């Protein structure tokens, strides 16, 4: 088409706002001018639905352009994938949020190019196959679904490319930092022990960086708009995947179970007062705003050995309906006698029969993580084949003995879980710092 126009566009670049976009265009012969005007007229006419009469450039990121078409395509994808109402007011409310996300994606891809990181089509297609498998879709169904709903698949693929590239960048930075040491893991395990019996919170997050600030939209306004969309029925995890600038975005914003000392003081003061399934108002912290959803809360379970397997004998002496002090004294003395004389699990079986205990007795090959908190404590701490001291419960006196205890790969799996959690937290900090530095060192211009 450009041959017909008898001209060629060269050296497309940028300058600071005090300069102008420069084009180097050779002289155009007069006989080619009508064809040029007609073609340009057709081009801008066909793009009026994207630009609403303004320039076809939505933003400039260093030496690259984000077009209004790019912006509109991403908006269409977000409205579809997040199940937002497809109406003008919705589009207007998310337009600048989406533009900021496109800018971030472009910065990530530019940094990947600078570091010679290549994301292949095969890598992107493998992610798509994984998504289809997790959502019980047929091969190719995801892309077909996008096309059927008039969504450009390349918009989705470009987003995946940026995510994969950034993951590799952060991984390299993480490895250079030294990663997570054995001492880090030991320190974290100690914190878990300290947190046993204290409240833990299962939360999800959406983080909006202060770098989202524009002349038309502040991070606080963006956060308010997202919260309003949640109020209108949009799913928190869908919006987290789209808008959150935290590594947890890939998991729908989920942070899993966290303790109070793992949260920013400002966030904890909010979370501690929330009800389950409640979404917070935007919470200002250093670097941006958070929206927090409280999914659940529980008492800390301490060290969960996961695959630690035990077999235990128990004797339970239930209280009578009209329990007297004398009855209690008899039961405690009987329990003490068992504690002092039982030398193995066979003795526990014999005493249980002599007492006529009818309660469920032996726990065979039970995972420690599946036991209630009281029994779990003794399952992990009692020496093998040693009866516990009498344990007072609300309904009676309990004695326990661990007959067998075995560990699956010792505590390797548990330590690996801790390591993965710490790695994720470190990666989150590295990602935030890198994005801040990238934006500070980049030329970014938004077009009105």
Residue 78 lies in a domain: no
Q: Which of 90, 47, 53, 95 is nearest to 74 (CA)?
A: 95
Q: Which of 31, 32, 49, 30 is nearest to 40 (CA)?
A: 32
The count of structural domains within the chain is 2
Mean of pLDDT values over 91-103: 87
- Separation CA 38–CA 131 (nearest Å): 45
User: Is there a single domain that holds both residue 220 and residue 312?
Assistant: no
Residues 356 and 289 in one domain: no
Q: In what order do the strands lie in the sheet with 57-61?
A: 64-67, 57-61, 444-446
Give pLDDT, residue 37.
Answer: 35
Task: Tell me the C-alpha distance between 195 and 8, whole Å.
Answer: 68
Q: Which of 73, 56, 53 is nearest to 12 (CA)?
A: 56
Which among 249, 280, 302 is the end of a domain? Answer: 302
Q: Is residue 364 part of a domain?
A: yes
Residue 59 pLDDT exceeds 70: yes
318-369 per-position pLDDT tens digit: 888 888 888 888 888 998 999 999 999 999 988 888 887 656 567 888 888 8
Do 313 and 395 belong to one domain? yes
Residue 317, classed as helix, strand or coil, is strand
Residue 393 in domain: yes
Antiparallel, parallel or unpaired: β 199-209 and 254-259: antiparallel
Q: How does the average pLDDT of the chain come out, rounded?
A: 81
Tokens 């790969």 belong to which residue? 409
Helix (H) or strand (E) holding 407: strand 396-407
Please report whether residue 23 resides in a domain: no
Question: Domain range holding 285?
Answer: 194-302
Among the candidates 302, 336, 365, a domain finishes at 302
Q: Where are the alpha helices (DSSP H) in 365-444?
A: 373-381, 412-440
Is pLDDT at 313 greater than 60 in this prediction?
A: yes
Supply the pTM of this predicted model. 0.59
Q: Count Cα neighbours of 34 within 13 Å in the Cβ-side half-sphere.
A: 1
pLDDT of 67: 92
Q: Are residues 384 and 357 in the same domain?
A: yes
Q: Which helix (H) or strand (E) holds 292?
A: strand 288-299
Alpha-carbon torsion, ordered 301, 302, 307, 313, to 10 deg: -80
> CA 123, 128, 132: angle at the middle one, nearest 5?
145
Q: Does 233 lie in the same domain as 209?
A: yes
Look at residue 119 and tell me whether its pLDDT is greater than 60.
Answer: yes
List the structure tokens of 26.
């050779």
**Cβ neighbours for 277, distance < 8 A, ≥ 6 positions apart:** 293, 294, 295
Question: Dmax of the chain from CA atoms?
Answer: 116
Distance CA 420, CA 441 (A): 31
pLDDT recorded at residue 359? 62
Residue 210's pLDDT band, with cuts at 50, 70 and 90, is confident
Task: Report pLDDT for 13.
Answer: 36
How far apart CA 303 and CA 320 sit, in angstroms, is: 35
Distance separating alpha carbons of residues 179 and 135, to the nearest angstrom: 33
- What is the β-pairing status of strands 283-285 and 444-446? unpaired
Q: What is the pLDDT of residue 248?
A: 85
Same domain, 361 and 270: no
118 found inside a domain: no
Segments of 319-395 assigned E as strands: 363-367, 391-392
How many whole angstroms separate alpha carbon 194 and alpha carbon 365? 28
Q: Let me know if residue 129 belongs to a domain.
A: no
Domain end call among 277, 302, 327: 302
**Same structural domain for residues 294 and 336?**
no
Pinpoint the alpha helices (H) of 149-281. 153-176, 182-194, 219-231, 236-243, 265-271
Residue 54 in contact with residue 448, Cβ under 8 Å?
A: yes
Residues 298 and 373 reside in one and the same domain: no
Inform me whether the pLDDT recorded for 9 exceeds 90.
no
Helix (H) or strand (E) holding 199: strand 199-209
> 156 lies in a domain?
no
Which residues, in sequence order, are bridge partners of residue 114? Answer: none
Task: Say which CATH number the domain at 323 has.
Answer: 3.10.50.40
Q: If pLDDT is split at 50, 70 and 90, which confidence band does 160 have?
A: very high
Same domain, 205 and 293: yes
Arithmetic mean of pLDDT, 65-77: 92
313 and 392 inside one domain: yes
Tell me if 383 is assigned to some domain: yes
Q: What is the pLDDT of residues 226-254, one digit of tens each?
A: 999 899 888 899 899 888 888 788 788 99
Residues 288 and 319 in one domain: no
Q: Based on the domain organization, do 208 and 242 belong to the same domain?
A: yes
pLDDT above 70: residue 12? no
């Amino acid at each position: 088409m450009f041959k017909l126009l008898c001209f060629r566009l060269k050296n497309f670049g940028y300058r600071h706002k005090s300069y102008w976009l420069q084009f180097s265009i050779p002289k155009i012969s007069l006989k080619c001018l009508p064809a040029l005007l007609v073609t340009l007229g057709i081009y801008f006419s066909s793009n009026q639905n994207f630009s609403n009469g303004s320039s076809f450039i939505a933003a400039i990121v260093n030496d690259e352009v984000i077009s209004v078409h790019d912006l509109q395509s991403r908006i269409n994808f977000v409205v579809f994938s997040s199940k937002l109402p497809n109406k003008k007011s919705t589009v207007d409310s998310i337009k600048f949020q989406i533009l900021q996300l496109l800018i971030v994606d472009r910065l990530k891809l530019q940094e990947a190019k600078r570091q010679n990181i290549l994301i292949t089509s095969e890598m992107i297609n493998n992610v798509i196959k994984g998504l289809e498998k997790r959502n019980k879709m047929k091969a190719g169904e995801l892309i077909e679904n996008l096309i059927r709903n008039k969504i450009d698949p390349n918009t989705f693929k470009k987003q995946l490319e940026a995510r994969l590239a950034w993951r590799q960048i952060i991984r390299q930075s993480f490895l250079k930092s030294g990663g997570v040491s054995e001492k880090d893991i030991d320190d974290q395990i100690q914190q878990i022990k300290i947190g046993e019996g204290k409240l833990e919170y299962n939360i999800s997050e959406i983080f909006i960086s202060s770098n989202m600030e524009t002349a038309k939209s502040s991070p606080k306004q963006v956060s308010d708009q997202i919260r309003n969309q949640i109020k209108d029925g949009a799913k928190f995890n869908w919006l987290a995947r789209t808008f959150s600038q935290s590594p947890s975005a890939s998991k729908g914003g989920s942070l899993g179970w966290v303790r109070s000392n793992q949260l920013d003081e400002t966030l904890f003061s909010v979370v501690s007062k929330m009800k389950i399934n409640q979404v917070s108002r935007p919470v200002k912290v250093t670097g941006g705003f958070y929206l927090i959803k409280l999914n659940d809360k529980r008492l800390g379970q301490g060290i969960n050995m996961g695959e630690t397997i035990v077999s235990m004998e128990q004797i339970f002496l239930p209280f009578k309906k009209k329990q007297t002090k004398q009855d209690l004294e008899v039961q405690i003395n009987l329990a003490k006698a068992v504690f002092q004389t039982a030398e193995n699990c066979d003795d526990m079986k014999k005493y249980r029969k002599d007492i006529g205990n009818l309660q469920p007795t032996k726990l065979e090959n039970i995972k420690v993580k599946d036991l209630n908190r009281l029994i779990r404590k003794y399952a992990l701490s009692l020496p093998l084949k040693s009866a516990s001291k009498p344990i007072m419960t609300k309904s009676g006196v309990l004695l326990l003995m661990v007959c067998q205890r075995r560990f699956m790969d010792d505590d390797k799996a548990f330590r690996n879980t801790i390591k993965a959690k710490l790695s994720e937290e470190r990666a989150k900090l590295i990602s935030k710092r890198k994005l801040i530095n990238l934006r500070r060192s980049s030329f970014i211009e938004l077009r009105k």
